[in-house]
Structures are given as structure tokens and as C-alpha cells.
């Protein structure tokens, strides 16, 4: 996790600010922000005119200031000033979507409900042949199927780091990529999913589905056989 934080509240605020910005920039903003508003109760009472200058460098500062205050007020009014511990409750907060909710749950609260899917995860999951989907929720569902649950949070972090440093959107550095030997898009990846990756992924998905059906059929036959014996 590249965002600096000391609590779930701080990570929640930092993640809201990070939209359309960089973690490096947000880490220069949050120390002063949380020194001025150390708790949700303090932020809930913030004067937008005083908050805006503190978040100005993050971009879209008026909307973000509005979301921060709305988020803090919701925490105070509905959750006793505490960050909720479920995906549904977090996603209902102003300025918070499913991606941000998964970030807070996995990285601040140690709760695994889903997989963070940002632009890097989307790009790399497609290039690695783990999904053919473009919708974030559907990509998340595919990743939840192929990954052990205890890897949902760290795997997303690894993809994000790799996407920022090696597998960039326009010029992926396949020559120095440790995954090149097994990546179906190595050497040919562009900004979209390659035909080779799509075909390989669809085939693998069909194989998994066939295996799952075979397992279900075998279980049903075993149950039926046991019933007949009785």
C-alpha cells in the first residue's frame, strides 16, 4: 500500500483524495489534513472554505472536499464516528465506491470481502489472461474465482505495483518482466486485451467450468447411489 495512513479513517480520506491523482501527491497532502481534522467528528464540522486549500493539489478539489465532509458526517451520524466494517456500509458513504471499500477493508481492517480492481488491476488481469471482462465488478468476480481468498488483497497490491513499474499501459516492459515466460500477452501487449490472451482465457474458463460440472455430477451420482442402497 503506497498511501500513508495510521487508521482506517485516514486511509478512507486518503483514498477518496487519490482519485484522478497519484499516491505520491496524496502523501504530501494528508499530514496537514489529518493534523487539522484528526477525527471524523472534526472533519464533519469542517468549513469547506478552510478544507479546500488543504486538498487543492489533489485535483477536483471542490468535489473531493464535499465528499470528505459528507463521508465524515455519515460516519458520525450512522456509525458512531467509526469506519464501518462491511462492503455494503462502506460503499454507501459519500465518495466511496466498491473499489475504495475493498481498499479500506483489506488494507486497514484486515477483512477480505473482495478484490480491489483499479485501472492497473484491470489492465494486468486482462493481459495475464485472468479475465476477458472490461467491467470492474465482473473482473473482480473472475479474480475471486481463480485466487485463494487469502490472496485477494495482496494479489491486487502486487498487480498495482507491477502495473506502475513494469507493465505500463502504453509501453509494457516485457523484456524485464518476471512474468513474461507465462504471460500470454508478453511481447505483444498493447492498451487492449490481445486476441491470443482472450482465446487462452476463454479456453481456461471453459475448462474450469467443465471441471466444476463434472465434480457436481460425480457428487450427485454418489448421493443417488447411496440413496438407492438405503
Question: Which residues are annotated as catalytic?
Answer: 99, 118
**Can you list the alpha helix ranges (DSSP code H) found in 45-131?**
48-55, 61-79, 87-91, 98-103, 119-127
HEC profile of 2-58: CCCCCCHHHHHHHHHHHCCCCHHHHHHHHHHHHHHCCCHHHHHCCCHHHHHHHHHHH
The Cα–Cα gap between 6 and 129 comes to 36
User: Using alpha carbons only, how large is the chain's radius of gyration in Å?
Assistant: 22
Residue 170, Cα to own-chain centre: how many angstroms? Answer: 21
Grid coordinates belonging to 23: 499516491
Residue 196 makes CB contacts below 8 A (sequence gap 6+) with 184, 185, 188
How many residues in the chain? Answer: 230
Using the structure block, give the residue that is written with the C-alpha cell 475493498.
102
Amino acid at each position: 500500500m503506497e498511501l500513508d495512513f495510521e487508521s482506517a479513517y485516514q486511509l478512507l480520506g486518503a483514498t477518496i483524495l487519490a482519485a484522478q491523482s497519484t499516491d505520491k501527491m496524496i502523501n504530501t497532502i494528508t499530514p496537514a489534513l489529518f493534523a487539522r481534522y484528526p477525527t471524523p467528528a472534526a472533519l464533519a464540522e469542517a468549513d469547506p472554505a478552510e478544507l479546500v486549500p488543504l486538498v487543492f493539489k489533489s485535483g477536483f478539489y471542490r468535489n473531493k472536499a464535499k465528499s470528505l465532509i459528507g463521508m465524515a458526517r455519515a460516519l458520525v451520524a450512522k456509525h458512531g464516528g467509526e469506519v464501518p466494517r462491511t462492503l455494503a456500509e462502506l460503499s454507501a458513504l459519500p465518495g466511496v465506491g466498491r473499489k475504495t471499500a475493498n481498499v479500506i477493508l483489506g488494507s486497514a481492517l484486515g477483512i477480505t470481502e473482495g478484490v480491489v480492481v483499479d485501472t492497473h488491476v484491470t489492465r494486468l488481469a486482462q493481459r495475464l489472461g485472468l479475465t476477458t471482462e472490461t467491467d470492474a465488478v465482473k473482473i473482480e468476480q473472475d479474480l475471486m474465482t481463480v485466487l485463494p481468498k487469502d490472496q485477494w488483497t495482496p494479489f491486487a497490491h502486487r498487480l498495482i505495483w507491477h502495473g506502475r513499474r513494469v507493465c505500463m499501459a502504453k509501453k509494457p516492459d516485457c523484456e524485464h518482466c518476471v512474468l513474461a515466460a507465462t504471460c500470454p500477452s508478453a511481447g505483444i501487449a498493447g492498451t487492449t486485451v490481445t486476441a491470443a490472451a482472450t482465446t487462452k482465457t476463454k479456453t481456461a474458463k471453459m475448462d474450469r467450468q467443465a471441471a466444476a460440472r463434472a465434480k457436481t455430477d460425480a457428487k450427485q451420482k454418489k448421493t443417488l447411489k447411496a440413496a438407492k442402497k438405503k
